[in-house]
Amino acid sequence: MRQNKLYTVIACMGMLLVGVSCMDNYEKLPVDQFTGEYVFSVTDSMGTQASSFLNSIYDLLPEGHNGVGGDYLDAASDDAISIKQNDPSVYQLAVGRYSANSRIYPVMEWGRYYEGIRKANIIINNIDVVPYKTTFINFNKEVKPLNYTVKAEARFLRTFFYFELVKRYGGVPIIGDSIYQLGDNIELPRNTFEECIDYMVNELDEIKYDLRSITMPEASVFAHAATIEAAMALKSRILLFAASPLYNEKPVTTDNSKLKELVGYESFNNERWKKAADAAMDFMDTFGSNGNRSVGLTNNFTEIFLGFYSGAVNPELIFFRQGGRNKNIETNNGPLGFTGNSLGNGRTNPTQNLVDAFPMKDGKARGESSEQYPYNSQRPYDNRDPRLQLTVLYNGADWLGRQLQTYRGGANNPTGSAEYTRTSYYMRKFMGNFENTNEYDNNYHLWVIFRYAEILLNYAEASNEYTDSPSREVYDAIIALRARAGIEAGDNNMYGLKDNMSKKEMRTVIQNERRIEMAFEEHRFWDIRRWRVAQDVFANPLKGMSIIRTVSSETYTETDLFKVNFEEKHYLLPIPYSEVNKNGNLIQNPGW
């Protein structure tokens, strides 16, 4: 009897043992993870998985809205400052407090772009196994299977990432279509600046007919995708940078002969401006007002940033990153002094320097304007270029059904607050049309990467630099922008432009027009570098407006905020110190 009990116990224990061993191994491999064969599947005739992989490359495109530690990159130029006084990264960037070792993200990315390049190479090397049944019709009306465009989009994005690297660092290592593995020798040297430019331009020319074109079929799915227009816009931008003084006429000086060809062209060649001008002209002739008109200027300046491709409403978009339907931009950057659904944190404060760059309503500079549109330093926002009020919120501007009080102590610039606008301005651009509503509402917010206005400006600049004196087309390009902006045409239909300007005068006009038209769109930071004028620009202090209100009057006084000491070495960004350490063949930029 007792023995039986014992056996029962032992049997129970045995059962337990078996039970335990049955409970292990849910699954041999984690079922929520998958391998390359699944992503590039021989049975996926829709290419769904491959598209998902492509999406992750798009995800690496820059998000410019409040993208630098919560600020716009333009707050590191002379156009704006951050409201934050606790040493935000954009301020460190502005004053040059960075080094190869303490870099400021995301502006000084290096690895992120090589991550994108690797991903693109994975698509390029693997997409052909996916049996796409779908086809598309390209710009030349040829029918092609969809994997052509998937591969071409990957190559476009790869070129885009290379250009992001080149504009920061000069020549960088080009890795071709290789997908490196552990153990491969990846101590690659930098390619020369020229090789990089040629590689990128060649890539774009090769892929352009494999891309789809505007108007995109199935915009609800593909609106964001790279098109032939995007590729040609990128080409225009690349060639404009390549021709610019920083890389062409006057690269940063260096004693190191090996570095010379990395930071720019070895010698100046004016023909590069022609290439740039031709690329822009080619764009206008093919897609713009002289071509099939798939792209053009949007009538309403604010709509550019709020709506998708639409030939009727927003033809100006060429390429963008989707930002979502929300109030984020308004909440981050709207004026202080509102709460609830009207809350704004006043993040980006345009400077007086930017406000001063806007001409009067007749297109003439302050003080040079006609009697009809005089400038009054105590009513400084009257009679200005209409783009001013679409770009900057100033004292007295209409917003959320009120007139803003940005004088010190006013409702929208409270004294009790630790963070107040030191310039008396807030950013208006990119926001929805909330002049007359009571609170913010959700809007589509796009981060526009290429738009038609840039092509016009690229053309105007390159052409003006190439020729001895500006051609009529240069005037036309600027006039097109001014007309759209709502500047008065004037008796001579010149929209405030002087006749027969010299090359130098025209350069000033174009540079200024680029500044105000493209403010906060991440151009100014790079433009003052490639023009090689940053040292001159920052010779002047950044300025704000001090507005003192008494019972009877308001007094406007310009105040100096701070001065930036811009050194020669700041024209190019430092390659990460750690990368130079790891890779003996990687030469650091001069001064770093």
Q: Which residues inside 41-100 make contact with another protein, applying CB under 8 A? A: 49, 51-53, 55-56, 58-59, 86-87, 92, 95-97, 99
Ranges of H-type helices in 75-192: 89-95, 111-126, 146-169
Q: How many residues bind another protein (CB under 8 A)?
A: 84
According to CB under 8 A, which one of 71, 75, 110, 275 is a site residue for another protein?
110
Our finding on whether 114 is near another protein (CB under 8 A) is yes
* CB-nearer residue toward another protein: 132 or 265: 132
- Choices 355-363, 387-395, 424-432, 562-570 (CB under 8 A): range interacting with another protein: 562-570
Q: Which is nearer to another protein, 51 or 248 (CB)?
A: 51
Q: Does 122 bind another protein (CB under 8 A)?
A: yes
C-beta of 219 vs 365, nearer to another protein: 219
**Stretch 341-370: interaction string toward another protein, x if CB under 8 A:** ------------------------------
Q: What are phi and psi of 70, to 5 degrees?
A: 95, -5
d(CA 189, CA 584) in angstroms, rounded, equals 8
Token match 């404060």: residue?
Answer: 349
β-bridge partners, 376: 379
Kindly identify the residues of this chain, within the stretch 414-473, that bind another protein according to CB under 8 A. 414, 416-418, 444
Quick one: which of 5, 25, 65, 56 has its CA closest to 431? 65
Output the smallest distance, CB 158 to another protein, in A. Answer: 11
Output the six-digit token pair for 302.
Answer: 């604010």
Contact yes or no for 487/359 (Cβ under 8 A)? yes
8-state DSSP, 314: B
Should residue 175 be labelled a site residue for another protein when binding is judged by CB under 8 A?
yes
Amino acid (1-letter code) at residue 274: K
Long-range CB contacts for residues 379-383, cutoff 8 Å, separation at least 24: 380/355, 380/545, 380/556, 381/355
Please list every residue from 325 through 344 that binds another protein, using CB under 8 A: 325, 339
**Residue 25 found at the interface with another protein (CB under 8 A):** yes
Cβ proximity to another protein: between 165 and 280 the closer is 165
Continuous segment of H or E residues that includes residue 324:
strand 317-326
Give the nearer residue to another protein in terms of CB position, either 187 or 398: 187
Residue 366 Cβ, how far from another protein at the closest point, in Å? 29
Work out which of 76, 117, 127, 228 binds another protein, going by CB under 8 A.
117
| Tokens 């530690």 -> residue | 69
- Spatial distance between the Cα atoms of 385 and 392, rounded to a whole number of angstroms: 11
Write each residue from 227 to 246 as x if it is in contact with another protein (CB under 8 A), else as -, in one continuous string.
--------------------
Token pair for residue 315? 């033809």
Provide the token pair at 83: 């409201």
Which of 6, 11, 15, 137 is in the footprint of another protein by CB under 8 A?
6
Region from 263-271, 362-370, 500-508, 573-581 binding another protein, contact rule CB under 8 A: 573-581
Q: Which CB sits closer to another protein, 365 or 561?
A: 561
Q: Which residues is 452 bridged to in the sheet? A: none
Write down the residue that tokens 């100014």 correspond to: 524
Binding test (CB under 8 A) with another protein, winner from 1, 4, 7, 24:
24
Contact yes or no for 212/136 (Cβ under 8 A): yes
One-letter amino acid for residue 549 of the chain: R
Q: Which of 45, 137, 140, 187 lies at the binding interface for another protein (CB under 8 A)?
A: 187
DSSP string, 106-120: TTT-SHHHHHHHHHH
577 interacts with another protein by CB under 8 A: yes
Residue numbers 283-302 binding another protein by CB under 8 A: none
Maximum Cα interatomic distance, the chain, rounded to a whole number of Å:
120
Amino acid identity, residue 548?
I
Kindly state the smallest distance separating residue 420's Cβ from another protein, in Å: 11
Return the residue of 4, 43, 181, 550 that touches another protein, per CB under 8 A: 181
The amino acid at residue 464 is N
Element (H, E) at 353: helix 352-357
Using CB under 8 A, pick the residue from 44, 63, 115, 476 that binds another protein.
115
Residues 508-537 that bind another protein (CB under 8 A): none
Task: Select from 67, 118, 306, 370 the one that contacts another protein (CB under 8 A).
Answer: 118
Q: Are 308 and 406 a contacting pair, CB within 8 Å?
A: no
Closest distance to another protein from the beta carbon of 148 (Å): 20
> Cβ closer to another protein: 157 or 240?
157
Q: What is the DSSP letter of 443?
A: E
